[in-house]
């Protein structure tokens, strides 16, 4: 558990002022934020925020006794929620969220259970604090969980921006970054590539940072921000300020050892998250961070630190073409509509590769990702139809619930 914040259950369950007048003529009135909620990332009241909170008043009105809180930590054993910067406490979740999540009838799918960043309604205080509802989320960063069975894993909810952290030591790999961007974009958040360890790039060789930035520019992703930093240096991480305004939530993703927790500490101005040395031989991290945690920053933004993950399997809901629109545009110019860009005459994709204007590896990555997404989409469709048709098997479901409790999914896979 993170130092200095938890647990301190609210002794007097102060009703959130936003909920004080459940019969106000305009139910939107109850979405007015308190300073406490604003400090943990409550969306500011701009029109865009209002629109994405459209469905909230109805849920809030259905629980007049409840207080608004945010999930700030997610452990295998359960959730920590907070109602302000310094109040975090364990809260019991709904029984259906405590059962092993799956796609059998009657089970809550993993992605329908709360994750760090979710806004929830809580009733009761101290040991009786209980999450009673989940406010519909406006963005969700997810992947298919590692492992042989199809399962979605929610990395964080209600985030505006995802910092894809990639170390400029042996960690740097444009193909892997491309994968991250696919998952981030389909989750409804803006990706920013943060190239950490800029001070170590190319073992100090001049121009190494610029080369990495150029490699990413070659991905052809218009408007993609790429920010090289030394995560240990507060002045250097200032370059991330444009994404760290009040009311905004940012999640850090990247492999173990990339510097996510180091960055968190530098932005926070103190060492709250534990960090760990990487292996000298291959720069791999040691999975120092083991749970996701939301940290309010002095800038007013919230940052979610996560455990490292290397493998990123698509869930099947991604739109691959959106991320490779340049290749799609070329393919439209091929002579044959069903051109496989192999030996067909008049292939515009192959011509571009031969002319050196398109990277062959990137094309290969595109088709690989497209096939993976298609495979995952087929499995997802199967699971969803199974969930509709199979009858529940009570003994199995109960056993799973007893054994696993409020388990979280596998975090790490590299």
Ligand X SMILES: Nc1nc2c(ncn2[C@@H]2O[C@H](COP(=O)(O)OP(=O)(O)OP(=O)(O)O)[C@@H](O)[C@H]2O)c(=O)[nH]1
Q: Which of 275, 315, 365, 406 binds ligand X (CB under 6 A)?
A: 275
Closest CA to 229 of 275, 195, 263: 195
Q: How many angstroms separate the CA atoms of 248 and 261, rounded?
A: 19
CB 91 within 8 A of CB 130: yes
Q: Is 334 in the site for Zn ion (CB under 5 A)?
A: yes
Q: Is 197 in the site for ligand X (CB under 6 A)?
A: yes
Q: Is 256 in the site for ligand X (CB under 6 A)?
A: yes
Smaller CB separation from ligand X, 166 or 373? 166
CB 250 within 8 A of CB 295: no
Q: How far is the CB of 375 from Zn ion (least distance, A)?
A: 22
DSSP character string of 43-62: PPSSHHHHHHTTTHHHHHHT
Interacting partner of 199 out of ligand X, Mg ion, Zn ion, none (Cβ under 5 to 8 A depending on kind): ligand X
Q: Which of 155, 181, 304, 349 binds Zn ion (CB under 5 A)?
A: 349
Count other Cβ atoms within 10 Å, centred on residue 235.
Answer: 9
CB 389 within 8 A of CB 131: no
Taking the CA atoms of 287, 290, 292 and 294 in sequence, report the sign of the dihedral they define: negative
Q: How many angstroms separate the CA atoms of 307 and 154, rounded?
A: 13
Q: Is 310 in the site for ligand X (CB under 6 A)?
A: no
Q: Which stretch binds Zn ion (CB under 5 A): 26-34, 278-286, 347-355, 384-392?
A: 347-355
Q: What is the CA radius of gyration of the chain?
A: 23
Q: Is 347 in the site for Zn ion (CB under 5 A)?
A: yes
Please give the residues from 154 up to 193 whose contact with ligand X meets the rule CB under 6 A.
Answer: none
Q: Is 159 in the site for Zn ion (CB under 5 A)?
A: no
- Which token pair is 63? 């629980």
Contact set with Mg ion (CB under 5 A): 260-261, 288-289
Q: Which of 16, 294, 339, 373 binds Zn ion (CB under 5 A)?
A: 339
Interacting partner of 256 out of ligand X, Zn ion, Mg ion, none (Cβ under 5 to 8 A depending on kind): ligand X
Q: How far is the CB of 303 from ligand X (least distance, A)?
A: 12
- Is 270 exposed, middle or buried (CB count within 10 Å of its CB: 0-12, 13-18, 19+)? exposed
- Give residues in contact with Zn ion (CB under 5 A): 334, 339, 341, 347, 349
**Interface residue list for ligand X (CB under 6 A):** 196-197, 199-200, 230-232, 254, 256-262, 275-278, 285-289, 307-308
């Amino acid at each position: 558990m993170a130092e200095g914040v938890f647990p301190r259950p609210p002794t007097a369950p102060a009703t959130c002022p936003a909920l004080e007048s459940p019969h106000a003529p305009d139910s939107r009135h109850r979405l007015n934020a308190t300073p406490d909620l604003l400090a943990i990332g409550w969306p500011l009241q701009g029109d865009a925020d209002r629109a994405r909170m459209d469905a909230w008043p109805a849920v809030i009105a259905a629980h007049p006794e409840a207080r608004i809180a945010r999930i700030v930590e997610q452990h295998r054993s359960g959730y920590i929620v907070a109602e302000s910067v310094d109040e975090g406490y364990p809260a019991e979740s709904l029984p259906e969220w405590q059962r092993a999540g799956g796609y059998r009838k009657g089970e809550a799918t993993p992605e329908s259970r709360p994750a760090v960043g979710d806004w929830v309604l809580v009733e009761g205080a101290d040991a009786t604090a209980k999450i009673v509802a989940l406010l519909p989320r406006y963005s969700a960063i997810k992947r298919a969980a590692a492992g042989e069975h199809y399962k979605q894993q929610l990395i964080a909810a209600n985030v505006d921006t995802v910092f894809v952290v990639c170390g400029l030591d042996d960690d740097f790999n444009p193909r892997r970054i491309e994968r991250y961007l696919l998952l981030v974009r389909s989750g409804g958040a803006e990706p920013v590539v943060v190239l950490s360890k800029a001070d170590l790039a190319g073992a100090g060789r001049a121009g190494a940072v610029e080369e990495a930035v150029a490699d990413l520019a070659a991905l052809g992703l218009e408007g993609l921000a790429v920010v090289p930093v030394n995560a240990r240096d507060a002045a250097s991480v200032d370059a991330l300020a444009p994404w760290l305004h009040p009311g905004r939530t940012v999640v850090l993703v990247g492999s173990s050892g990339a510097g996510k927790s180091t960055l968190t500490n530098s932005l926070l101005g103190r060492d709250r998250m534990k960090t760990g040395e990487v292996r000298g031989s291959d720069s791999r991290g040691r999975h120092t961070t083991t749970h996701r945690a939301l940290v309010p920053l002095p800038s007013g933004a919230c940052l979610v630190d996560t455990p490292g993950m290397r493998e990123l399997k698509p869930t099947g809901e991604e739109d691959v073409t959106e991320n490779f629109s340049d290749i799609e545009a070329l393919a439209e110019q091929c002579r044959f509509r069903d051109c496989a860009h192999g030996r067909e005459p008049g292939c515009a994709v192959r011509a571009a590769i031969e002319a050196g204007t398109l990277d062959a590896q990137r094309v290969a990555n595109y088709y690989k990702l497209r096939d993976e997404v298609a495979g995952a989409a087929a499995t997802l469709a199967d699971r969803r139809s199974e969930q509709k048709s199979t009858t529940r098997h009570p003994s199995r479901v109960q056993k799973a619930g007893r054994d696993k409790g409020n388990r979280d999914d596998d975090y790490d896979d590299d």
